[in-house]
A and B are shown apart, each in its own frame.
Chain A
Amino acid sequence: MNKLELEELMLRISSGRDEMAFSTLFDFLAPKINAYFIQNGLLPDNSEELTQEVLSTVWAKSHQYDASKAAVSTWVYTIARNKKVDFLRKNSKIDFKEEDIREFLYDNNETDKINEGEVKDQVARINKELDKDQQKMIKMNFFENKSHKKISEELEIPLGTVKSRIRHILIKMQRII
C-alpha cells in the first residue's frame, strides 16, 4: 500500500468514521506495528496489546491527523514509539504524562513553519545518498533500537566496524541536512 492510499483511508476514517476503511488499514498496519514491538524486544503478548493500543489511538484520534503536516506512516510511527516508551517506563516513578509532551511536536506552532516539502526533499536525498546496507544499519540502530553489539552479532561484522560505519552514516546524513 502506498502513502496516497494510506492517506485516503485516513480521510475516510476521520471524516466518515468508515469501519471498512479502518479494517483495511488495520490489516496492513497491525502486523507491521506488531513486528516493530517485537524488534524492540517486547514479548508477543505485550506486542499485540500495544498494537491494539496504537490502532485504538489511530481510530479515536483520527481527526487529529493532518495530512499537510505529516505522512500517515510518520504519524502512526510516533504513536507506536510513544506507546513503546511508556511501556518501557511503566515502572518508573515519574509522575507526569510524557505523552502529552510528545504530542506537542505534532500540534506545535513552530512545526507549522516547517515546510513539509522541504522535509520530503531531505528524506528523499538521504534515501538516495545512503546505500541499502547503510539504510539497513540506520533501521537496526534507530528503528529496532538494537545496540551496536547486537548489530555486530547479527550482521557478523566486528563491533568497531559497526561503530565506525554508523558514525560515517551520521556524518553523511549531517551533510545532507
Chain B
Amino acid sequence: MNGILVKNQLVFDFASGSLGPSKSLLASTYLYLNSSASKLNLTFENILGDNLIENKDVPIKTLKYSDCISDNSHEKISAQKNLNPITKLVGPLNKINWKQIYKGFSEFDPKFQDDDDLKLIKMDPGASVPLHSHGGKEYILVLSGSFCDEFGTYQKGDIQINDQKIKHTPIASNDEGCICLTITEKDVIFFGRYGSFLNLFTFIKSFFK
C-alpha cells in the first residue's frame, strides 16, 4: 500500500465530510499540527468549492432569502483560545488521567462512541511496544515527543497509517517519550446476501497481500 496515498485519502475524506467522528477528530488534529496536510486540505476544499458553484441547480421550493436574515447584527466571534481539536476534547496533555497498561505504556480512552476505537497512548522515554500487527487499519498521530520503528522516525504532527500486513516495534524517543492519538479499525465484516462469500473472499485474499 502506498503510504502517502493513504494519508492523502484521509485528508480528502475529511474535506468531503465523509469520515466518522473518530477519524474526523484524528484528521482535524492532524491538519492542526501539520501545515503541509493543512495545505493539501485547503487545495482540495478549493476544488470542492469550485464543484459547488459549478453545480447544477435544484430549484428551491419554499425558502426565501429573507428566511435567512435573522437580525442585522453580526454574530459575535467567541474568543477561542484553544484551537487544538484533541486538547479541546480531553484537556491539556500533561493533565490526562492515564491508565497504565504495562510499565512504560499507558492509555486514555476518551469514550468516543464510534465503531473506530479512538485512544490516546503515552510511552515513557525509551519504552517500546512488542512486535505486533493489526486486524484492521491502525492510525497513529504523534501529539508530542517522537517514536521510531522499522519504517522511520515520527515526530509531532506526523501520522503513520498501518494495514494488517505491517508488523512493527515502535520505540519512544529517549529524551521525551511520546504521546499519540490512535485509531484501531475493527475488521471489515460484510453482511447481507453475499456476506459469507465476501468474508470468505477477504479471508482468502488476506493470504495473498
B-binding residues in A (CB < 8 A): 1, 3, 6, 17, 19, 22-23, 26-36, 38-39, 44, 47-48, 51-52, 55-56, 58-64, 70-71, 73-78, 80-82, 84-85, 89, 92-94, 96, 98, 100-102, 104-105, 107-108, 110-111, 113-114, 118-120, 122-123, 126-127, 138-139, 141-143, 145, 167, 170-171, 173-174, 177
Contacts and interface: CB of A to CB of B under 8 A. Distances in A.
A60 B28 contact: no
B169 interface: no
Given A74-B45, A77-B52, A123-B46, A44 B83 contact: no
Contacts of A52: 63, 67-68
B94 interface: no
Contacts of B46: 70-71, 73-74, 119-120, 123
Nearest to B39: A114
Interface string B24-45: 1100100110010011111111
Contact of B38 (A62, A74, A100, A110): A110
Interface stretch (B72-80, B143-151, B159-167, B184-192): B72-80
Contacts of B12: 142, 170
Given A123-B46, A170-B8, A98 B60 contact: no
B138 to A, nearest CB: 21
Interface of B: 2, 4-5, 8-9, 12-13, 15-18, 21, 24-25, 28, 31-32, 35, 38-53, 55-63, 65, 67-70, 72, 74-75, 77, 80, 83, 85, 88-89, 112-114
Given A84-B17, A105-B31, 13 more contacts: A32-B53, A35-B55, A44-B61, A47-B58, A59-B69, A74-B49, A100-B80, A104-B85, A110-B32, A119-B43, A123-B50, A142-B15, A170-B8
Contacts of A101: 25, 28, 85, 88
Nearest to B50: A73
A47 B63 CA distance: 11
Contacts of A70: 42, 45-46, 49
A38 B58 contact: yes
